[in-house]
Amino acid sequence: MEHLANAAHNQSSVISRIKDLVEKQLNLCVSCGTCRKSCTVLPRLRAEYATARGRLALVDAFIKGEISYSRRLREAFEQCTLCGFCTEACPNHVDPEGVLSISRALVIKPGIIEKGVSMLLSHRKGLNLTALAARLALMLLPFAEKWKKIPSFIPLVGGRIVPAVKMPPQELRQKTYQGYNPRGPRVLFFPGCFVDYAFHNQYLSALKALAWICSEIHTPRNLPCCGLPSLEMGDAGAAHRQASVISRTALELNVDAVVVICGSCGSMFRKVYPLLDPAFERFSQKVKDISELLIEHRNLLRGREKKWGRRIKVCYHHCCHLKRGMGVYSEPEELIQLNPEVEYEELDFPDRCCGFGGTMYVKYASLADEIVSDKVEDIVKHNPDYLALGCPGCLMHIQGALLSKGCTTRCIHPVELIA
Ligand code: SF4
Ligand code: SF4
């Protein structure tokens, strides 16, 4: 009972903090509409509610009690990819993307399913259980395809690839790894759910590269999800609880940096945690994308780069959360070009949003697919051997779209080109 009371208190204090922040941002907005011009979804949805300005007006009306919870309101927020172009465009220094991200806690009322998923994501045992359930669901894919109304948290969407979910192998289950550089930083490496349970090649490459520059790499096996999915589903209390566990662990270990390999986890840590609670600021300041840390220590990478035995043509996709969320854009490109066998070519529109957007990919598949088609056209035109990108969600979405076009380009993380 006490636990439930604490959770309810926690949820209401997070909500009131979010409300204050949102109100401050709304006061800065002059409704000029500049943010409309670069919106990823506006050209597809062609409606004011689909713009940052429209959504800010909706949240304003919601806070003032002029509108209440509804399916349409929820859809308006879920159909935003959180690409951040509106924040980049706003001349008044409003951060619409940040507001739209945390406002989901106000305007979306999580149902039983969302609450259940959040609970699973909040504990390591729950994550393991989710991974096993996902694996089972994937085995049933041909059968399940017939059932279009399967709850949206199971990623069974027609014509798409989904990662082969599996438990991490034994070699990835250690709590600490010793690095080769005794004077190097001590870090906590946070792989994120996708890399932990599906993209093990990325995990192995990251550990290998980190070992070259670090003295110690901590990979605690008791951490929950970063909290982004819970926040997207409107469960701010769960997101805050997950943030508390991760932040406390990192601070207790007293590491020099918290290293991420997924731009979405990174953006959640660096940008959204302090919005949820200023107490997370100290943790957030320690967060680095792996490309940032590796480039800081680039001298230790020279001569150790992965040998491909041939020239490989590589393009890079700037994931929105990594570029506009974390502010990381030059380091991944530099990292890729450290490998002398790489022939780097820039896409025509390297930072165009792919349309993944988390909930968007699962619940609004046709909209997400429409958005990714422009990205695919750009990649097909350049036809690289590899498309490097720093977010597993975008990777899954773009790789699926490329495969369905018969394109042989393979998507990988920049660190896989090096280690
Ligand atoms: S968020 Fe910024 S760009 Fe958009 S309407 Fe408000 S002031 Fe204008
Ligand atoms: S985050 Fe992107 S999709 Fe959402 S309103 Fe802003 S520009 Fe549009």
Is residue 81 domain-shared with residue 14, that is, in the same domain? yes
Q: Which helix (H) or strand (E) holds 162?
A: none
pLDDT at 60: 95
| Least confidently predicted of 46-60, 70-84, 150-164, 382-396 | 150-164
- pLDDT grade, residue 2 (50/70/90)? low
Is residue 287 domain-shared with residue 319, that is, in the same domain? no
Is residue 276 domain-shared with residue 316, that is, in the same domain? no
pLDDT tens for each residue of 317-372: 999 999 999 999 999 999 999 999 999 999 999 999 999 998 888 889 899 999 99
Cα distances (angstroms) measured from residue 380 to each of 333, 346, 351, 383, 403: 20, 13, 16, 5, 11
Is residue 213 domain-shared with residue 261, that is, in the same domain? yes
251, with CB counted inside 10 A (0-12, 13-18, 19+), is middle
What is the average per-residue pLDDT within 373-381? 97
Phi-psi region of 182 (alpha: psi -120 to 50; beta: other; left: phi over 0): alpha
How high is the mean pLDDT of the chain? 91
| Least confidently predicted of 12-26, 201-215, 335-349 | 12-26
Q: Which atom of ligand 1 is nearest to the CA of 28?
A: 7
Pairing of β 176-178 and β 216-218: antiparallel
For residue 96 and ligand 2, the question of a CB distance below 6 A is answered with: yes
The CA distance from 224 to 126, in Å, is 9
Is residue 293 domain-shared with residue 243, that is, in the same domain? yes
Q: What percent of the chain has pLDDT over 90?
A: 78
Q: Which atom of ligand 2 is nearest to the CA of 35?
A: 7
Domain that holds residue 412: 306-417
- Ligand 1 centroid to Cα of residue 271, in Å, is 20
- Ligand 1 centroid to Cα of residue 95, in Å, is 9
Q: Is the pLDDT of residue 78 over 70?
A: yes
- pLDDT grade, residue 381 (50/70/90)? very high
The CA distance from 347 to 378, in Å, is 7
Structure tokens at 261: 């390999």
Q: Which of 298, 329, 351 is a domain's end point?
A: 298
pLDDT at 134: 76
pLDDT tens for each residue of 50-60: 999 999 999 99
Q: Is the pLDDT of residue 393 over 80?
A: yes
Q: Is the pLDDT of residue 160 over 80?
A: no
pLDDT at 12: 83
Q: Is the pLDDT of residue 69 over 70?
A: yes
Is residue 312 domain-shared with residue 362, that is, in the same domain? yes
Please name the residue whose Cα sits nearest to atom 1 of ligand 2. Answer: 82
What is the average per-residue pLDDT within 129-146? 69
Q: Which residue has the higher pLDDT, 303 or 134?
A: 303
The CA distance from 286 to 92, in Å, is 29
Is residue 411 domain-shared with residue 313, that is, in the same domain? yes
How many domains, in total, are found in the chain?
3
- Ligand 1 centroid to Cα of residue 355, in Å, is 22
Q: Is residue 378 part of a domain?
A: yes
Q: Which of 85, 92, 93, 97 to mutate to test the pocket of ligand 1 (most atoms within 8 A of CB)?
A: 92
For residue 225 and ligand 1, the question of a CB distance below 6 A is answered with: no
Closest CA to 379 of 354, 356, 343: 354
pLDDT at 359: 85
Structure tokens at 189: 């490496």
What CATH number has the domain bearing residue 49? 1.10.1060.10
Q: Is the pLDDT of residue 182 over 50?
A: yes
pLDDT at 13: 85
Q: Which of 298, 320, 345 is a domain's end point?
A: 298
Q: Which of 92, 107, 122 is a domain's end point?
A: 107
Q: Is the pLDDT of residue 1 over 70?
A: no
What CATH number has the domain bearing residue 390? 3.40.50
